[in-house]
Structure 1
Amino acid sequence: MVAKPIVVAVAATGRSGTPDVLACAVAAARLLRAPLVLAGIAVGERPADAGERPDALRAAVARELHRQADVVPDDVPCTVHARRAASVPEGLRAVAAEEDAQLLVVGNGDRVPRGASCPVLVTPAGTSAPERPAVAAAPAPAAAPA
């Protein structure tokens, strides 16, 4: 049985926190024997936000994701998922649900998506990945009966 993936929020701008987030995500992936999905969100509600072509912003995000995927060690399976959304938290929630993620890893400068379909690990800036990371999470509250 294949383990559910770990979705990792990757800053499309190559922010300095991305290496910390990736390092912790790789450590968690090794511990849980799970693949990684690098997620990048192209934020914009109108095609005009993307410049001349509606898909230009999403394509730029995908290029950055592939660049970051090259940094992931070969022993950790890794794919990328670029998505357009009105906000980063909205996009991350959608990616986590679509990928059926067991964990979502974000940096401390990211807005944490509320209502994610899985636990969320917030990685502090300047964190070096421990050999055996401690991950604690509480499940999302159950939806009220209809």
Structure 2
Amino acid sequence: KAIKKVAGTTKLDLAQFRELQAFAQFGSDLDASTKKKLERGQRIVELFKQNQYSPLSMEMESIFLFAMQNGYFDDVKVSDIKRCQTAMGEYFETRKTELLDKIRNEKPDLKKDAAAVEAVKTALADFKTSWK
């Protein structure tokens, strides 16, 4: 349920990406906005890929979905998404364990719970400054 709340428009974004991807095959002249949407869709697809027998925890899925929905991956090259996702997971598991525990135990609504949203945004901003 917590993941459903944070996922928001991801399903719609992915459907739009698939539609644009099919359209882009027939046209070579794509405007900047269309290219940006295609790259965002590629990032979403990469974020959803998981290694077999290595499922993500609910709290990490929530963090990744929140980060994706709020543009924290927008400046990451598609080819670097998995590396960034892995580093972000390690960062939260080593430095933000109390935040992960709160998400796991309290399952806050990361769209409406202002304190939880601010804590996640701050942690993501800290991660982004340290990740290269």
Q: TM-score, normalised by structure 2?
A: 0.28
| Structure holding more helix per residue | 2
TM-score (norm 1): 0.26
